[in-house]
Amino acid sequence: MDLLRSVKDQTDETEFHTPLPEGYRKGRTKYVVVVGTVISGLGKGIFSSSLAKLLKDKGLKVAPVKLEGYLNIDSGTLNPFRHGEVFVLDDGMETDMDLGTYERMLDQDLTAASFTTAGQIYTSVLKRERAGGYLGRDVQMIPHVTGEVKLRLRELAMETEADAVFVEVGGTVGDFENGFYIEALRELAYEEGPGSTSFVALTYIIWPPSLGEQKSKAAQLGIKRLMGVGIQPDIIACRAGKPVDEKVRQKISIYTNVPMERVFSMHDLSSIYLLPEMMREAGLDSQVIQLLELGNRVNSLSDARAAMQWREFSARIGHSSGEVTIGVTGKYTTVRDSYASIIKALEHAGVANNAKVNIKWIDTTSVTGDNVAQSLKDTDGIIVPGGFGVRGTDGKIACIRYARENKLPYLGICLGFQMAVVEFARNVCGLGGAHSTEIDPDCKAPVIDILPEQKQIEGLGGNMRLGGQDVEIMADTVAAELFGGAEHIRERFRHRYEVDPKYIEQLEAAGLKFSGRHPRHPIMQILELPGEVHPYFIAAQFHPELTSRPLRPQPMFVGLVKVALARGVR
């Protein structure tokens, strides 16, 4: 975004500060705002993306945005133990895992405009102040910081030509760090006018075991806090382990002035992909269409077609003819959100193969050559996922060697690709001391390295190679078969290290095939062992899990589950 964007209403003659993008029409784009109460982590992104999907099914253009309260500019430096996986968009923006939920549910590629942090907001405001963008005004939280939030939402609306922008506010109402977001959204609803904005409060219905019944008092107080800052919710989504009792819903309705038909029981389901249909049956999509006066934009034929397609998909969830166990070998296995996209990609692949996929979590920090067989016992295939740093890499290499030598189906991702090269170089090519300079800067055979000439080629400097990149697929390979004979695919990357080109000839002469490459430069992006050597041994420098969608499962995961099934249905 430009430092001094072309906006209106920037004078010092009024207390109003309503910056509008050039050409923006108030009221044309509608806004659905989802906020949380009681506790965080209840699934605001799941609810928001499911509701957005239902509106998209009706032929409407939707654009989601996540508003985060932390001061980081992006999620790239966040520890997976603290914040779950880092999700990378096609344009290279590093975001939190909720953006993955939106992309999967909507089957829609997002951009950096769909992810905003407090750090981004404050940085923009202060840069504009230094450049004289506020015409000498004293810059304040209200109206200038809130004005920046509103401007970004309206710019997203303009950029995407959305009928509805879905705004998810991170955290819960009452959190200090997101207060300015909630105030900005209150102002937005006021400025856009009646019928422009619908507020959803996601709350939590507790069930104390000692009482044996659902209690709504915490939910009531949380929603009252939202109302206390000037926002009247239109819809209440009640998270609970079991369906919310009608009496509890009645209490919520009375205390919040929200009609019963808009107090929704969002109880636990076996898959998040069952939620859209449950919301459709409850009529939430129709309620939002009515609240936002979008009825004249609905395409009923599109809605019926999309609903049938999703029902066919969701009907296959939980109904399988086979069962497999896939081992995920990493160092963040105690926090499942660290591998959220891998979990979902396996679910998509399971449905595609009519199989139930169980995941066995294997912490590689304790895996050695002596215990690897026991660690991988009862797995039908393994995934070695991405990661950074030294810890756990020896265990990953041990897992890769076991999979290669014992013909256990294998999928390597990013670091899993690099460690597969290291393992092959050591144990097949006989390159003693083969390693990555990330792990051992002084290794004798740096088969994985940061290459100065490649940094110049990519224009990356010292930064990571991030976002969508083209991959050229070699003909007559496993990769070509997986991707339906495509000569080029586009996948998402997040790495610094590459296969050193001087070792490629030696590695391939020993039997390793680099079946996916950069279209123009000597950058290896997919490796595999031929089918006659191993039933399924393939790895990608990119992150295939980031592009898997429910109705378009990622081929490398589909292939893994398919071959794992062939090892013997249990």
The active-site residue out of 238, 414, 429, 443 is: 414
243-249 long-range contacts, CB within 8 A, separation 24+: 243/267, 244/205, 244/214, 245/213, 245/214, 248/205, 248/214, 248/215, 248/216
414 is a catalytic site residue: yes
* Straight-line distance from the first to the last Cα atom of the chain, in angstroms, rounded to the nearest whole number: 54
Write a three-state SS string for 406-474: CCCCEEEECHHHHHHHHHHHHHCCCCCCEEECCCCCCCCEEEEECCHHHHHHHCCCCCCEEEEEEEEEC
User: Which backbone phi and psi does 256 adopt, to 5 degrees?
Assistant: -120, -5
Give the span between the Cα atoms of 169 and 192, in whole angstroms: 19
3-state DSSP call for residue 215? strand
277 is a catalytic site residue: no
Give me 297's structure tokens: 């934009």
CA 421 to chain centre: 28
Secondary element (H or E) of residue 238: strand 235-240
Q: Give the Cβ contact number of residue 361 at 10 Å.
A: 13
Contact 42, 241 (CB under 8 A): no
CA Rg, the chain, in Å? 25
Give the span between the Cα atoms of 74 and 397, in whole angstroms: 31
What are the start-end ranges of the E strands in 450-557? 465-473, 488-495, 498-499, 513-517, 524-528, 537-540
Give me 243's structure tokens: 């369906």
Residue 286 burial (C-beta neighbours within 10 Å; 0-12, 13-18, 19+):
middle
Write out the DSSP string of 133-189: TTTTPPP-IIIIIHHHHHHHHHHHHHHHT-SEEEEEESS-TT-GGGHHHHHHHHHHH
Write out the DSSP string of 33-90: EEEE-SSS-S-HHHHHHHHHHHHHHTT--EEEEEEE-SS-SSSTT--HHHH-PPEE-T
For helices 179-192 and 146-160, the axis angle rounded to 10 degrees is 60
Contact 457, 432 (CB under 8 A): no
In the DSSP assignment, the letter for residue 545 is G
85 is a catalytic site residue: no
3-state DSSP call for residue 475? coil
Give me 168's structure tokens: 């998810």
Give the active site residues: 414, 543, 545
